[in-house]
Structure 1
């Protein structure tokens, strides 16, 4: 064994940068969330400005909180803990800097493009293709830096926090790349490579596992490092951490289809997702138990240390969310909860409680160490904790109530067997008091965040004129080493349980990473391959045809305005839905939908069967002044649709991209703009004849109305024996 000792220093400058980014972007994300909460309580807060409307800002809020706030928090904790756990400086200071500035540039790009309506319409994956490419490049730089650091480590065995970082890095890369495969139709426009049912499957394979491997596993890594540090106690159970890690990584990846119960997705897929979701409860709670029991013998410190208060409530929120998630995946519960605010409450329990409070606690613990000055005020940290916790309770209690109210009102029938609340807006009006309570809860959470900013800023202000850079000494990693082995007893089971095999894996990070990738890939392919290759999963419907060029342009405007954030396009085979919205949706209806637009919540009614339900003029007036059509509507005003010219020239490029995806467009390949103009002129003349405004033939509203009038009409067209359709 070599006695040579090497001296080095850690790069804490990069940690400080990510820490400030975490705080700043967090407040931005929370503030946008408060604004859209106000917009739901009173549509006046849309300000009649297109780029500030709810549909445009909702994806900005989710991206800011997930990728800007939580993302920077992950990198803050990972850069700090990785260096210390591996006893080495990061592999490359330049890659660290590139990662930081590249990630902030991506966030700024998202903040500019999403309000302007450039979106892929895929939840948590809304950013358009050039930004997706940039994300991949920056993520690869992070991965090279991280795995390069592991390669030059001075510690043989990698600690459990590193396991979770490895799983997060490799899995997020797979999810991001395969869900975002698309065909560009311009610099900020693309169409998903997948259509309809397959696109829905891929999106929720990604969407659920973005929650798993961006908002869960890396934060578990942070928990496993910072909780023992703050408690000054070792992790409760090494064996439990192993069981927690491998079962979570393998089971999580299967669970995505539970977001699509009772939809056009094949039932076997959603049932499989449900089964694995239910199994997820066990490893998730294993992690919670491991975190909380780390405090054994140190619970008295919780009353004294605000950092531990944040950690304890954060881990408890994780336990609550990961119990509720499997429960919501059960079909009978999902039938009530899906499309309601119940899901929003569930998500925010995790985001505000687990991710938010864990981040606050971590930063409070880090600040004195990074700024080399005592925390400005422990009392203010206590105040922050109680204000934030009370804000979360107000938020989730009100929105749980709103969600259950929605679900019960939607499915209520009166004594005659008719819908008790046939007018959708009746259910919306019942939620207004709860929406205002949510605003109060969100306001408290933001006030706590501002106190947090002040406390950390004052701590930073007390920093020394120049930071001391401690020199650390450690022997280099020996090429040969004597492995510590636990005596093996009890046959095969005993040999497995003594965990010598896992101790070997921990000293072989390449093998460990390969095994993690295999766990994720095998589980993914087991669902993906049958969904894509078995044709009976998506029976075709002969009468379903591609959208006309004008309707395609209208669909893109529907996406641009963010209408999919409020309206679903999926009638489930549940009586109260078919009574309210019409015939249930079929898989074959969506074969030309790139991307799918089934939606994930209903702030407004489902639109799958809206085609032909109202005259064209009704839609025009509805966009211009929603309250003139539905008195209590909370829909934003879209007057600009009647003022902005439609980009006819760009329609050909979009049709060409769809043709590359296999959509049979025929004549439109040669003359899409002309065909769009012809349909627009006919529609505009009809609207004018009905008493509507003139001059709409070249305006955006005409395309959007054309798209809405097409929805749900194809399956009503009878098919004749030769495969054609009757007029």
Structure 2
């Protein structure tokens, strides 16, 4: 037995904190700017790289992956070394992780405004950057698990559990959702299509929120909150229940983003059921955090760190109550596609993540630089600015969202729409957009104040790498006579857990009676597991979790199993959906070469940010937009374009609704066709040219993805492309508009005219386009 001096690598923590603050300020600034663009469309400036639709993905990626991501890594590196009582296994891997992540962020900041995007929310980055993310994440994982292997602490503290779940699950989510075939270095197509792609995307999207913005921050809460309060965690047992319930349940909840869509009903029901059940473990974690402060509430008056932590955990509780509420079908019918969802997301990102980040920074920076916080009063001012700012934002979006939902569905006594023109709803909520911008500006101002405060703090001290002394036994993590891995695999909690999982899989099928019966079975199994565990404890046997907690490999494998069960159960049945969906009439027809080019432009310009392509089975929606969307209509869509927000109307049945001239005019000057619209003008489409030679390459790649193009279709792609384009050009010329056949404008118009139209609806060569008498702006 000997003593060993451990010097922690705190340089990596300092780097990630600085990067988080710098990129956080950029992300928040872009957020304020695009919020202003919604209120004043003139701020788009007619510049392609500054349109709302291109900048919005930049904002979300900057906040999620640059601000929160760097903050998360800072907290993980700092706490992991201390919880394991060892330095990170490799300083080189730590540096590669840091600089690799920053290069990825810079690549995102360059490509997204250029329109280089996959259009998959929170996963918009194209395939070369996706590969880089995978490689950097592997470097991070190797360094983390290598450090676990050389630890000087036998048991794994609760924060480490959440870090393990984050590393494993994010890797699975990212790899599956990013599967694509590249067309070139800047363009790829998802291997999934339509309903498949939608389910995979929101399985990823929801769980990216869960395992990138929630579980690692919970790990940070479990470490830093007790440190700041100088109190132990309220309940270790509650931590165990919180972790396993959250990890298992979260992965099932993704389909609640797709309620009332063309997704199969069983998947929607599963998503709703597990979303509702998530409320319990989420609030268990919140209460565990808040009750850790028992006996320390008096410190809130003078300690800004605790103020931020308490407010952050409270916002976590609000977000995890609101999420299950929005997953109820009747509530989703009102709230989905509205600003309510935007308010909910920002309450989590800026309320939960942002305030936790500020609390962690204020606690860490004085310790990392061996000094005191420069100004407690400035930190207090930041707290109130941030809290009031995010509350203004959320309240504005709640009011705006409910107003939108009610106006969209409002009808006259005779059943006709009370607000048939979509722009009427947009004009009604414009004051709320201004309030939202003010709230965001206040939040940004507080953030800048924090940067100044922490910069002054760092200037008053100097970088310090903390150290400790540990007692090293002959074997750092002795195994002794502990029960083997067989005891883990045959333990009662594991057996009961498998039984509960097996029953849970069937919750989404069948009648309400079956659902309640199965729920009762789950409750009984849980009660039996508790009784058996209690008797084993009374008999003096080691708890099953204690066995697992000391075995990182077993813990990691069990966590992987917990998250894979839900993913496999939901995703596998939809893999064959392309073959399973019914075909109507002559069947679906793939996009023409010109329409495919136009679809890529639709993705490039970010039209999916403000427009959906999914008409839900509600009377008001069918009156406003047309027939309900069907699953088979999307089987050739790589990727899907259902959207998640309607700043403009749904476009799924827009094909043939307006003449070509209307679309041309609308894209050149949206106010000319839709007075009051806040849509940017896309006049550059008329001047830019498509890559004519790319058409056959795109069809050939789509062939590999299962789209039934023939070799003749591929060979004749350029000829067909020009023929269809010249039909549109001739039509526009007859009405006094001159535009080149290979312009981006013509390609995008061709795609818009195709939306929602089967082969039987498409005009025969030489026949005029049908024009709807329906009024209403886009």
TM-score range, shorter chain: over 0.9
Question: 1:582 aligns to what?
Answer: 626
Cα distance, 1:480 vs. partner? 3.9
Pairs within 5 Å for 1:680-719: 680-692=725-737, 694-714=738-758, 717=761
Question: 2:553 aligns to what?
Answer: 510
Cα distance, 1:325 vs. partner? 0.3
In 1, Cα distance between equivalents of 2:466 and 2:403: 57
Question: 1:189 aligns to what?
Answer: 187
Question: 1:494 aligns to what?
Answer: 534
Question: 2:518 aligns to what?
Answer: none
Cα distance, 1:545 vs. partner? 0.3
Cα distance, 1:467 vs. partner? 3.7
Contact 1:540 1:587 in 2 (8 A): no
Specify whether residues 96 and 668 from structure 1 end up closer, same or farther in structure 2 by C-alpha distance, changes over 3 A only: same
Contact 1:589 1:715 in 2 (8 A): no
In 2, Cα distance between equivalents of 1:482 and 1:19: 43
Contact 1:345 1:395 in 2 (8 A): yes
Counterpart secondary structure, 2:627 = coil
Counterpart secondary structure, 2:467 = coil
Contact 1:543 1:717 in 2 (8 A): no
Cα distance, 1:470 vs. partner? 3.3
Question: 2:470 aligns to what?
Answer: 473
Match of 2:239 among 215, 238, 241: 241
Counterpart secondary structure, 1:600 = coil
Give CA-to-partner distance per residue, 1:577-613, whole Å, 9 cap, x none: 0010000000000000000000001000000000001
Contact 1:158 1:507 in 2 (8 A): yes
In 2, Cα distance between equivalents of 1:491 and 1:584: 51
Match of 2:713 among 647, 668, 672: 668
Match of 1:525 among 568, 580, 601: 568
In 2, Cα distance between equivalents of 1:521 and 1:478: 29
Contact 2:3 2:469 in 1 (8 A): no
Counterpart secondary structure, 2:292 = helix
Question: 1:69 aligns to what?
Answer: 67
Question: 1:725 aligns to what?
Answer: none
In 1, Cα distance between equivalents of 2:262 and 2:274: 20
Is 1:559 the counterpart of 2:556? The answer is no
Q: TM-score, normalised by structure 1?
A: 0.96
The aligned length equals: 713
Pairs within 5 Å for 1:392-411: 392-411=390-409
In 2, Cα distance between equivalents of 1:21 and 1:447: 18
Cα distance, 1:322 vs. partner? 0.3
Cα distance, 1:496 vs. partner? 6.2
Question: 2:31 aligns to what?
Answer: 33
Match of 1:212 among 210, 221, 236: 210
Pairs within 5 Å for 1:583-602: 583-602=627-646
Pairs within 5 Å for 1:36-435: 36-435=34-433
Match of 2:687 among 613, 623, 643: 643
Give CA-to-partner distance per residue, 1:640-662, whole Å, 9 cap, x none: 00011111112222222111101
Unmatched 5+ residue regions in structure 1? 719-727
Cα distance, 1:479 vs. partner? 2.5
In 2, Cα distance between equivalents of 1:115 and 1:453: 26
Counterpart secondary structure, 1:595 = coil
In 1, Cα distance between equivalents of 2:263 and 2:546: 42
Question: 2:723 aligns to what?
Answer: 678
Contact 1:612 1:710 in 2 (8 A): yes
Give CA-to-partner distance per residue, 1:200-232, whole Å, 9 cap, x none: 000000000000000000000000000000000
Give CA-to-partner distance per residue, 1:167-215, whole Å, 9 cap, x none: 0000000000001100101101000000000000000000000000000
In 2, Cα distance between equivalents of 1:25 and 1:63: 10
Question: 1:571 aligns to what?
Answer: 615
In 1, Cα distance between equivalents of 2:312 and 2:10: 25
Cα distance, 1:53 vs. partner? 0.2
Counterpart secondary structure, 1:135 = helix
In 1, Cα distance between equivalents of 2:667 and 2:182: 29
Cα distance, 1:481 vs. partner? 4.6
Question: 1:547 aligns to what?
Answer: 591
Cα distance, 1:536 vs. partner? 7.6
In 2, Cα distance between equivalents of 1:280 and 1:536: 33
Match of 2:671 among 627, 639, 642: 627
Counterpart secondary structure, 1:431 = helix
In 2, Cα distance between equivalents of 1:137 and 1:317: 33
In 1, Cα distance between equivalents of 2:471 and 2:426: 63
Contact 1:197 1:538 in 2 (8 A): no
Specify whether residues 73 and 410 from structure 1 end up closer, same or farther in structure 2 by C-alpha distance, changes over 3 A only: same
Q: TM-score, normalised by structure 2?
A: 0.90
In 2, Cα distance between equivalents of 1:690 and 1:615: 11
In 1, Cα distance between equivalents of 2:161 and 2:760: 54
Counterpart secondary structure, 1:127 = coil
Specify whether residues 172 and 112 from structure 1 end up closer, same or farther in structure 2 by C-alpha distance, changes over 3 A only: same
Specify whether residues 490 and 676 from structure 1 end up closer, same or farther in structure 2 by C-alpha distance, changes over 3 A only: closer
In 1, Cα distance between equivalents of 2:379 and 2:19: 19
Cα distance, 1:439 vs. partner? 0.7
Counterpart secondary structure, 2:189 = strand
In 1, Cα distance between equivalents of 2:425 and 2:562: 44
> What do you get for the CA RMSD once the two structures are aligned?
1.8
- Between stretches 24-33 and 659-668, larger displacement belongs to 659-668
Cα distance, 1:468 vs. partner? 5.7
In 2, Cα distance between equivalents of 1:587 and 1:478: 54
Is 1:463 the counterpart of 2:456? The answer is no
Give CA-to-partner distance per residue, 1:674-717, whole Å, 9 cap, x none: 2211211221111111222x132121000000000000111754
Counterpart secondary structure, 1:233 = coil
Contact 1:248 1:283 in 2 (8 A): yes
Specify whether residues 475 and 327 from structure 1 end up closer, same or farther in structure 2 by C-alpha distance, changes over 3 A only: same
Counterpart secondary structure, 1:474 = strand
Contact 1:56 1:115 in 2 (8 A): yes
Cα distance, 1:64 vs. partner? 0.3
In 2, Cα distance between equivalents of 1:384 and 1:170: 35
Contact 2:8 2:465 in 1 (8 A): no
In 2, Cα distance between equivalents of 1:683 and 1:600: 31
Question: 1:723 aligns to what?
Answer: none
Specify whether residues 111 and 226 from structure 1 end up closer, same or farther in structure 2 by C-alpha distance, changes over 3 A only: same
Give CA-to-partner distance per residue, 1:427-462, whole Å, 9 cap, x none: 000011000000110000000001000001001111
Contact 2:195 2:577 in 1 (8 A): no
Cα distance, 1:343 vs. partner? 0.3
Specify whether residues 374 and 147 from structure 1 end up closer, same or farther in structure 2 by C-alpha distance, changes over 3 A only: same
